[in-house]
Chains A and B, each alone.
Chain A
């Protein structure tokens, strides 16, 4: 059953616009898809490697601004900005990670919180980022209107989720989890923990910045208000709610976090109160998350090796 979960989820995501393709629905769906990508990226950092990052949205900002600035300043199609976005994302990860990843737990969380704010405040005060108003008129990805763009998002996000799940079940992914479980023991096994943690940041940044490009294309504008601390907190909430380190769980968590407030729209101003209560109740009843990792693999070599059993 396990291996059909991903394709089934993808099928549902693709099918919804054929049921309801109103601009409102498509907007909610696209936002949710981008949010799933952010959760998949943060899951690499927090879920796999156990590094609490409270400023993750900074990487999304880096991606959104880089593609927004390049595409408007040089009148480039958005796709052409992607190589530059990836380079800048990796550089941002190294700049933020290099000094901070020698710290452990609480200290790291505080410093990432600071970096998240620094990126936002810098964007607010620089001229080439458009100051507090941000950047407008970013060309979208024109592939048959909002529905077409939604399908592009679903494809990219599906690849991102699959990619993060594949990384988890690899040498690098295991090294991340060794660090999460016991950093000293990981070192004794010959894991260069500093380098491996930096790689978690780099992959997290690539996922986050790519989500930022989709975000810029979706709204055709970026401004500092999109990258406040609350946004980082919401992504982290999606990861915790879904199940830290669980590739499937964080998809569910992200969909819940982004869609439930829309479903509750009729409650008006009270919807966030209700939403908060729902989250507290879920975390009390299921502290391990909605769909936690159940780590199992075949007992013997001669047992048929089933791909995807261990997600």
Chain B
């Protein structure tokens, strides 16, 4: 299997603290991979390096064969990476539909002159965006109001909108940063099914997650970080039995 995402010897530090320190891992096409680790292990920092929000101080990030290290976030997005954020980053005053349309920004289909003159091309593009936005909201199982501002929604629904927005990007790689945080038991069950359906679309899913039940259930492979390094990499069963992982989470025995 050729790798879609390769992270090689990645490093970034903040004022002497090495948040990510020589991280190497790869993600194959069509895989569901979880990145786990204790708080402060560098998971989100690694995500931010991959997506261009942080500039890594060393190492390479290679997406589908091309080196995207140090690219700005919009260029990484255009190269084919969609992401969600650990703490929801929706556009609060815009409608649910507009939030999902944001994911389709790169698909274009109209320019400012089309918009000013309301050309047939503009109307076609807008109709397409609306239909697609509805389609993605349906896909994630969203059952709330769609024409009103997203800030009025309960937390679980906002999570769904954020995932719909990321999927609407039609990017081959989807990074989900703690998609299960703050969800109740039923919502987590639905999330599990959703992650599998995302993979079945042919997307590759990488998630950061704290809920071990969810991780062990959904992941095909688990990468474990501690102190900014990879300490284990394998199937959920292998990782669970790995002494280094047990130590990182529970501390050394005796």
* Residues 72-125 (chain B) with a chain A CB within 8 angstroms: 72-74, 77-78, 82-83, 85, 89-95, 97-98, 101-103, 105-106, 108-112, 114-116, 118, 122, 125
A65 on the B face (CB < 8 A): no
Is residue A182 within 8 Å, beta carbon to beta carbon, of the partner chain? yes
Distance between B134 CB and nearest chain A CB, rounded to angstroms: 5
How long is the Cα–Cα vector from A301 to B133 in the complex, in angstroms?
Answer: 10
* Number of residue pairs A-B, CB distance < 8 angstroms: 118
| A191 surroundings in chain B (CB, below 8 A) | 74, 102, 105
Q: Which of A281-307 contact B (CB under 8 A)?
A: 295-301, 305
> Which residue of chain B lies nearest to A163 when distances are taken between CB atoms in the complex?
B116
Instruction: Kindly identify which residue among A181, A182, A185, A296 contacts B148, using a CB–CB cutoff of 8 Å.
Output: A296
The proximity string for A residues 168-206 relative to B, scoring 1 for CB distances below 8 Å and 0 otherwise, is: 011111110110011011111111110000010001000
Contact, CB under 8 Å: A188 / B51:
yes
Closest A residue by C-beta to B149 = A295
Instruction: Tell me if A166 is interfacial: C-beta within 8 Å of chain B.
Output: yes
Q: A177-B91, A185-B85 are in contact. Are A170 and B110 (CB under 8 A)?
A: yes
When chains A and B are docked, how far (Å) is the Cα of A177 from the Cα of B91? 8
Measured between beta carbons, the chain A residues less than 8 angstroms from B211 are none
Given contacts A188-B73, A298-B147, A301-B130, contact A167 B93 (CB under 8 A): no
Question: Chain B residues near A170 (CB, 8 Å)?
Answer: 110, 112, 114-115, 122, 126
- Given contact pairs A190-B105, A295-B148, A166 touches B116 in the complex (Cβ within 8 A): yes
CB pair B103–A181 under 8 Å, yes or no, is no
Taking CB atoms and an 8 Å cut-off, the chain B residues in 34-92 that contact chain A are 51-53, 72-74, 77-78, 82-83, 85, 89-92
Among A173, A301, A305, the most chain B Cβ lie within 10 Å of the Cβ of A301
Question: Please, which residues of chain A bring their CB within 8 A of the CB of B112?
Answer: 167, 170, 172, 199, 203
The verdict on A296 contacting B134 (CB below 8 Å), with A185-B85, A187-B74, A188-B83 known, is no
Cα of A240 to Cα of B212 in the assembled complex, Å: 49
Asked whether, in the complex, the Cβ of A166 is within 8 Å of the Cβ of B118, the reply is yes
B98 touching A174 by the CB < 8 A rule?
yes
Pick from A166, A182, A296: contact of B90, CB below 8 A: A182
Which residues of chain A are near B193, meaning CB under 8 Å? none
How many residues of chain B have a CB within 8 Å of chain A? 48
Q: Is the CB of A299 within 8 A of B145?
A: yes
Max chain B CB contacts within 10 Å: which of A163, A171, A173, A191?
A: A171
Is there contact, CB below 8 Å, between B125 and A171?
A: yes
**CB-contact partner of B134 in A173, A190, A295, A301, under 8 A:** A301
Interface string of B132-149 (1 = CB under 8 A from A): 001000000000011111
Give Cα A171 to B128, complex, Å: 12
- Min Cβ gap A285→B in Å is 21
Residues of chain B with a CB closer than 8 A to A193's CB = 74
Measured CB to CB, the residues of B under 8 A from A are 51-53, 72-74, 77-78, 82-83, 85, 89-95, 97-98, 101-103, 105-106, 108-112, 114-116, 118, 122, 125-127, 130-131, 134, 145-149, 165, 169
20 sample A-B contacts, Cβ–Cβ < 8 Å, listed by A number: A163-B116, A170-B114, A171-B125, A172-B115, A181-B92, A182-B89, A185-B91, A186-B102, A187-B74, A188-B51, A188-B73, A189-B74, A190-B77, A190-B78, A190-B106, A191-B102, A193-B74, A296-B147, A296-B148, A297-B147
